[in-house]
Amino acid sequence: MSRPLFSISNHHVESCGEAPAVDGDAQGKYFGYFANEHGEQAVYTYDVDTREATLRMGDTGWQVVHPVVSGRVDGLILTETELGWLRACWMATGGTAGHSPRTRLT
């Protein structure tokens, strides 16, 4: 097998918890990664089977899973760049304003 295409370390302090393990080869999953201008990291996950999108961020504690609904996350204040990335992930999984993402990734 070839080397991983993409590998990232957790840049957050230990008190933020352990970063989620991401298996980019998992069937029916879509993952997006982002680091803002301060080095704060985020992981977007979309599950095709459950049609659920979630966001985890190191600065909010990796163990906290934030539901993504209609491309937004309630209760979080995101910067313009973070929001732009989140919307791009939402659109990549087939979501549009007011609609859920598609049921199959192609």
Q: What would the pLDDT profile of 83-100 be if each residue is shown by its tens digit?
A: 999 999 999 998 755 555
Q: Write down the pLDDT at residue 69.
A: 92
Do the Cβ atoms of 59 and 17 come closer than 8 Å?
A: no
Mean per-residue pLDDT, 11-28: 82
* Domain residue ranges of the chain, discontinuous segments joined by +: 27-92
Give the least confident one: 34-38, 45-49, 55-59, 96-100.
Answer: 96-100
Burial status of residue 106 (CB atoms within 10 A of its CB: 0-12, 13-18, 19 or more): exposed
- With 60 as the cut, is the pLDDT of residue 104 above it? no
Q: Write down the pLDDT at residue 13.
A: 74
Rg (CA), the chain: 14
Closest CA to 70 of 57, 56, 83: 83
Mean per-residue pLDDT, 29-46: 93
- With 90 as the cut, is the pLDDT of residue 20 above it? no
Do the Cβ atoms of 18 and 10 come closer than 8 Å?
A: yes
| pTM for the model | 0.82
**Residues 41-64, buried b or exposed e (16+ Cβ, 10 A)?**
bbbbbbebeeeebbbbbbebebee
